[in-house]
């Protein structure tokens, strides 16, 4: 499969992430074939991923966050494996902060 070199564009939203744009800071190098509103499924492309497209939902408050930790929680899935949560810093418990600082 041929890789589409999209330069300084975001691999997900297609926005410019070049120097001087508001999206230059916090961009990361990216190669993906994920379907988006801008790109078709299976279209392998290499460029960058802007901060907005890197953000994910905190599983506790539902807010989008760029900074997060993945914590193991007591509940287990039906297969008996530990369950994890993606959690933003605003939702960390005192116990979780202690573990991170240990």
Residue 93, exposed/middle/buried by CB under 10 A (0-12, 13-18, 19+)?
exposed
pLDDT of residue 78: 67
Report pLDDT digits (tens) over 7-56: 999 999 999 999 999 999 899 999 888 778 788 777 888 999 999 999 99
Predicted confidence band of residue 74 (pLDDT cuts 50, 70, 90): confident
Q: Nearest Cα to 100, choosing from 22, 46, 87?
A: 87
Report pLDDT digits (tens) over 76-95: 666 666 688 899 999 999 98
Question: Which residue matches tokens 């193991």?
Answer: 72
d(CA 21, CA 24): 6
pLDDT of residue 72: 81
Consecutive H or E run containing 30: strand 28-32
Mean of the per-residue pLDDT values for the chain?
87
For the chain, the structural domain boundaries read: 4-54, 56-101
pLDDT surpassing 70 at residue 1:
no
pLDDT surpassing 70 at residue 63:
yes
pLDDT of residue 44: 87
Q: How many residues does the chain have?
A: 102
């Amino acid at each position: 499969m041929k890789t589409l070199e999209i330069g300084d564009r975001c691999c997900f939203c297609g926005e410019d992430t070049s120097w001087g744009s508001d999206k230059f800071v916090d961009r990361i190098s990216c190669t993906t074939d994920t379907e988006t509103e801008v790109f078709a499924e299976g279209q392998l492309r290499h460029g960058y991923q802007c901060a907005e497209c890197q953000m994910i939902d905190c599983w506790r408050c539902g807010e989008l966050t760029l900074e997060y930790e993945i914590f193991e929680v007591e509940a287990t899935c039906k297969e008996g494996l530990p369950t994890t949560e993606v959690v933003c810093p605003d939702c960390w418990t005192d116990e979780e902060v202690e573990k991170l600082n240990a």
